[in-house]
Structures are given as C-alpha cells and as structure tokens.
Structure 1
Amino acid sequence: MYKKQGSNFHTSSAGFTLLELMVAVIILAILAAIAMPMYSNYITKAKARSAQSDLVALSVVMESLYQRNLKYVDSAGEKTVSDYFTTNSMTGSWQPSADTFDYKLTVTTTTYSLKAVGSSGGRNDGCEITLTNTNSRSITGDSACGGLTSW
C-alpha cells in the first residue's frame, strides 16, 4: 500500500518564488510613487485650509473687540497676534490650529488686516493668506498652499 518514492519525484513547494516576490515589490513601489506626492499635497492643502479657518476665527475675535470698544485697538504697524493680544490684555481669546503658519495683523482704529504666513522651512513656506475687515480675501503661493488659488 505504500508507494516507494524514487529519486525522480515532484514536490510541491509552499510559498512564493523570488520572481513573484519581486513583481509584488515593484507593484507596491509604483503605487507608493503615485500615492505619496498626492498625499503630501493633500496635507499641504489641509494645513492651508486650517489657516483660513483660523483667520476667520480671528476676525470674529476682532469684530467682538470692535463691538465692545466701537473701534479696533490700534497696533501701530504689523504685529504678531500674540504680541497684539498681550499688549491689549486679551489672553486666551484665540488659539491657532495650524502650526505651520505664523499669524500677523495690522490694525488701525477703523480697519484690520489679518495675515497667515507659512513658517519658513515648513510645509507651507511661501504661502500667504490674507483676510481684511471688509471680508477681502487673498491667497498667494500656489504650490506652497497646496494648489489653492482662492477661498
């Protein structure tokens, strides 16, 4: 009942051949080469969108300040938001969610201009997003903003 195996017998191998493994690795490399730049651009654009929402939230704070004082508190030139809040004793009234942007503002008694500038050396370096009290919005730095041209 037992079959004697001779020297010429066929064995089935369990597993992958080196060729099959290399084909799978090449396919994964091609997919990664396509996906990574797209994902990176998506992250860059998401950070710019987050900065846009930060500017809108900051404009709400500025309008609230105007409602309390019937004027904007003059900043005497462009300042960082944290310096402006410290000078005007407005601690804790606004916190940015985008960490790749620096926020600046220029305020007179009747107008303000808010600006989010991409941090140097960061993902959004060269991106500049602006919002004024008249709701004038601009964005510069096409690729640094993830391809955004308007908002």
Structure 2
Amino acid sequence: MSKNSASSCQSKQSGFTLIELMIAVVILAILAAIAMPMYSNYITKAKARSAQSDLVALSVVMESLYQRNLKYVDSAGEQTVSDYFTTNSMTGSWQPSADTFDYKLTVTTTTYSLKAIGKDRNNGCEITLTNTNSRSITGDSACGGLTSW
C-alpha cells in the first residue's frame, strides 16, 4: 500500500500575510504621529534652555568686567553682543553655544539687560536677564512651552 504523497503532505508556508503587514504599518504610523510632535517640542525647549545658559554665562562675563572696572562699560543703546565686544576691544570673552538665538544687550554704567531673541524654530521666543538677576521669558510655544526659568 502506497500513500499518495501529494494528498497526505500539506505544505506549510511561513511569513506574514498582507493584512498582518498593513496592521504593523498602521501601528508604526500612529506611534510616529505621536512621537514626532513630542520630539519637536523637546528640541525647541532644549534650544531655549541652551539660550538661558548662554545668558547666564554672558552675565558672568559682564560681572567680571564690572569687577575689573568697578562699572559696566556703556553701550550705545541696544546692540548685539559681538558689536559690544568689538567696540570695547573684548575679543574672545564669550561665545554662544548655538546659533538659534540672537543675543543683544543694553548697558549703562550701573546696569545691564541681556536678551536672547529666537530665530528659526524658536522664532518669537525672547529670554531676558538683568544685572539684578531678574529673569523673564515670553513666547510660550516658541520657547517649547517654557514659562519661567
């Protein structure tokens, strides 16, 4: 008695069906739709935090200048930090950690006000620090949701 090999042997195929593959793609798309805005907000907030630390470092430079001169070196109104340093022959005193903010300052002989103004992804974010350590931040979503520091 011989058995017919074609009828008794069932071939088993392994792999994914099209439906299973489409379900996996849909799940990945949903995860990406949730993760991408959160990641984008995280990057925006990180750049704003970086600007905050740049302002603190710049205030240390300003206080060091005050210690040497017993006054702040006057600026002609609000100007960029690089222009202020160039005008007062202070090369290499301070460099920002990133270029996503423009840094400006206003200095009198007794006070200063430092400002980081966002550009690109942080456009609309403005962070301020004064010589009395008064800190402010405006532009809620442009600063990644930061409201204080």
Q: TM-score w.r.t. structure 2 length?
A: 0.95
Partner of 2:13: 13
- Per-residue deviation, residues 48-74 of structure 1 (Å, max 9, x unmatched): 000000000000000000000111110
Match of 1:143 in 2: 141
The aligned counterpart of 1:104 is: 104
Secondary structure in 1 matching 2:43: helix
Q: Which residue identity is paired with 1:101?
A: F
**Aligned pairs for 1:1-151 within 5 A:** 4-6=4-6, 10-119=10-119, 122-151=120-149
Secondary structure at the residue paired with 1:10? coil
Aligned-pair CA distance for 1:5: 2.3
SS across alignment from 2:26: helix
Q: Which string of whole-angstrom CA distances, capped at 9 and with x for unpartnered residues, describes residues 2-31 of structure 1?
A: 854226853211211111100000000000
Number of residue pairs matched by the alignment: 149
Residues 16 and 69 (structure 1), Cα distance of their counterparts in 2 relative to 1, 3 Å cut: same
Distance (Å, rounded) in 1 between the aligned partners of 2:114 and 2:8: 82
Q: Percent identity?
A: 87
> 1:123 aligns to what SS in structure 2?
helix
Question: How far does residue 76 in structure 1 lie from its aligned partner after superposition?
Answer: 1.1
1:115–1:4 Cα change, 3 Å? same
2:65 maps to a residue whose letter is: L
- The one-letter code of the counterpart of 1:140 is T
Q: What residue ranges of structure 1 are gaps of 5+ in the alignment?
A: none
Q: 1:137 to 1:11 in 2, by over 3 A?
A: same
Greater helix fraction, Structure 1 or Structure 2: 2
Deviation at 1:101, TM superposition (A): 0.3
